[in-house]
Structure 1
Amino acid sequence: MLPNRMNLNRTTEEQLKKLKQFTGISPNVSSRIAFYRSIESDFRYSATSAKKLDGSLVLDKVTWLGDTQLVTELTLKLAYPDFNEREKMAAWAAHVEDGIASLRNHKNIASITNAL
């Protein structure tokens, strides 16, 4: 399904880290929220708009996905049935980038929960 080691692009990582500074939500948890916000918004990844995954925060998929690992992998498989594992990782990263746009300006947990 997804590779064991995954990363995001640098810009998305910076946004996740800033969100952690303001809210205390760790980047792996906020990336899960961002992914599902993006899936719910009907965003679809296109390989032609792929960005380089040049972030320095390389974590294993268990850390990134936690208890949502199986559901996330199945969601990606349903949305992108013809993609290989690297393409699915790029799609996951694009969904996190898309979803973080709606979360990055929140300054505390209360404002995030109200937005959800």
Structure 2
Amino acid sequence: MLPNRMNLNRTTEERLKKLKQFTGISPNVSSRIAFYRSIESDFRYSAESAKKLDGSLVLDKVTWLGDTQLITELTLKLTYPELDEKGKMAAWASTC
């Protein structure tokens, strides 16, 4: 469902890198945590507030999502049934 290569916006990347410096948690793990916390807190992505995914950190889906790949994709599918692949990637990236 999600593209094999994914990226974030530049601001989010910088936040994840700073978080790694302070906590030692890698950006891919902290982005997974952020995604599930956003789902728990009822945050919902809207295309109107979408940010351009212009970051330089591009990783494959397996690296970003790890063991949570299947459940993350299913959660996105259930939460945003109207979005296409790119829309779901933008929704995922907006939660990080």
Paired AA for residue 12 in structure 1: T
Identity of aligned residues (%): 88
User: Residue 60 of structure 1 corresponds to which residue in structure 2?
Assistant: 60
User: Residue 81 of structure 1 corresponds to which residue in structure 2?
Assistant: 81
Structure 1: distance between partners of 2:52 and 2:22? 27
CA RMSD of aligned residues (A): 0.5
User: Residue 38 of structure 1 corresponds to which residue in structure 2?
Assistant: 38
Structure possessing the higher radius of gyration over alpha carbons: 1
Regions of 4+ moved over 2 Å: none
1:82 CA drift (Å): 1.4
Normalization by structure 1: what TM-score?
Answer: 0.82
Structure 1: distance between partners of 2:49 and 2:27? 24
User: Residue 10 of structure 1 corresponds to which residue in structure 2?
Assistant: 10
Normalization by structure 2: what TM-score?
Answer: 0.98
1:95 CA drift (Å): 1.4
Cα deviations by residue, 1:1-26 (Å, 9 ceiling, x for unpaired): 10000000000000000010111100
Which sections of structure 2, spanning at least 5 residues, go unmatched?
none
Q: Secondary structure at the match of 1:19?
A: helix
Q: Figure out how many residues of one structure are paired with residues of the other and give that number.
A: 96
